[in-house]
């Protein structure tokens, strides 16, 4: 049985108010993952900009 199916079976056995909390938790996890991805993208962008700056500085000498 796949993990998704196991999770679904457990969630289906919960009362609807707890199902809603599980759903909210999943959304929170997705948002945290998205933030990490954005932070990583910004770090990569900053690194590239520094490399470009160094390259242009060397070219101007």
32 vs 26: CA distance, rounded Å:
10
Q: Residue ranges per domain, the chain?
A: 3-60
| b/e code 38-54 from CB counts within 10 Å (16+ = b) | eeeeeeeeeeeeeeeee
Q: What is the pLDDT of residue 48?
A: 93
pLDDT in tens, 11-41: 999 999 999 999 999 999 999 888 888 899 9
58 vs 29: CA distance, rounded Å:
44
Q: What is the pLDDT of residue 37?
A: 86
26/56: higher pLDDT: 26
Q: What is the pLDDT of residue 24?
A: 95
Instruction: Answer whether 14's CB lies under 8 Å from 22's CB.
Output: yes
């Amino acid at each position: 049985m796949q993990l998704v199916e196991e999770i679904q079976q457990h969630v289906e056995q919960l009362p609807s108010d707890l199902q809603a909390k599980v759903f909210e938790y999943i959304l929170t996890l997705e948002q945290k993952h998205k933030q990490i991805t954005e932070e990583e993208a910004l770090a990569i962008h900053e690194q590239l900009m520094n490399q470009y700056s160094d390259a242009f500085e060397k070219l101007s000498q």
